[in-house]
A and B are shown apart, each in its own frame.
Chain A
């Protein structure tokens, strides 16, 4: 019958009318980024880090700079850890290569600065300020993360 499509269309729109909006209210509500999101700066757990420097070596752009000192037992201790997010291409190689899984992304995708220096983050300082060192029970990244 002709015209039945009009009623069907009106039924569809009235259903949409009463449905929950799909809008992401971003500045008010943080969006759910998902587990595989790469972005922000590096969330470093200083107590877990063994200062091996693999992350620094795996970085294709050289955006991670870390220095360490050796103590009397010839064990390395982290002294500085700097992430230049202006150079970072968010390839995830550092995080995948970390043998003790002590680094992760902070997922703060919206930062900006007036100069390039504003994009360089001292990760030890950041970890201290935000308390990343607190041991947290978190599900490890699932399979499929592997390259």
Chain B
């Protein structure tokens, strides 16, 4: 692996600049602040790109052109959308529970942003490389259930309430197979740290060793991010827009931003756990050496965007589940499957150890 990448260079440059002025502790703190700013930039830029990408992918999959009026190839469409949302009136319905209603979009954004702390963007370029990284991600992602319920309850609207209840039922049910599928990978690595999970995949990606876990993860992650075919929470055909019904303008766009931030986060976690993170394609021979020269963050971005494309592909292919189908699929199919996967992984690890005589 190349030890110096662009993030390392920036970090060491900042350190050499700041440490004579501030001392070591303050320098560490300011490096974290720089990381946070970087993550926020990544989140917002991604939201801008993903809104356009979603609409373009939707267009292409329906043999349309997608947005193409604003700017060349519709590139400025998101800018126009954002300006429109910013200039809208901040309307608050009379009967809403003011605090709960107003806090929900902001609170939803916090776990979405916090999850980025443990995503390994490149070699040694994890904002905070916790030794319980994936555990932290799971803990934070389960927090995003509550703001949905808050939005649903606070809106004082029966459809929003239904949507909020659905969010709780769905996200809690699908969290269990999600975590169990991650567990298979953790058993192989023996560590919860994101950087060591990536390091462990230098020879073979875990998507080959844990294909069932990967499929379960992708399905459960689709449900976690409330995207079609699991968008029972929003479900515009039945319950208007679920918890988002009473929101408009920037408040509504916070939900949207959080959705895309979550989408990127789960795709990045899928990349990290199953697709080798920032590591290049493990090919033998000269081709593998050539692939080493591509920077890690490009590999990471390419794999993550591929996963995002897969999620979009799902969205524009599959029709929505019914609520009872959703629950029975989660509890009766995904959960036993993920448990069986854990069992088989454990047995496999045992036999592997017996074989190598460990």
Contacts and interface: CB of A to CB of B under 8 A. Distances in A.
A72 interface: no
A9 B317 contact: yes
B333 to A, nearest CB: 10
Interface of A: 6, 9-10, 12-14, 16-23, 25
B: contact size bracket: 10 to 19
A16 B318 CA distance: 14
Nearest to A14: B313
Interface string B302-344: 0000000000011011100000000000000000000000000
B57 interface: yes
3 nearest A-B residue pairs (beta carbon) = A13-B317, A17-B60, A13-B61
Interface string B62-92: 1111000000000000000000000000000
Contacts of A19: 63
A16 B63 contact: yes
B317 A17 contact: no
24 contacts: A6-B317, A10-B313, A10-B314, A10-B317, A12-B317, A13-B61, A13-B313, A13-B316, A13-B317, A14-B61, A14-B313, A16-B61, A16-B62, A16-B63, A17-B60, A17-B61, A18-B60, A20-B63, A21-B63, A22-B63, A22-B64, A23-B63, A23-B65, A25-B65
Contacts, number: 35
Most chain B beta carbons < 10 A, residue from A6, A12, A13, A16: A13
Contacts of B62: 16
Contacts of A14: 61, 313
A12 B59 CA distance: 14
A78 B137 CA distance: 85
Nearest to B62: A16
A22 B65 CA distance: 8
Contacts of B59: 21
A13 B57 CA distance: 10
Contacts of B317: 6, 9-10, 12-13
A13 B60 CA distance: 9
A8 B218 CA distance: 18
Contacts of B314: 10
B152 to A, nearest CB: 30
A147 to B, nearest CB: 37
A13 B229 CA distance: 15
A9 B65 CA distance: 21
Nearest to A20: B63
A23 B60 contact: no
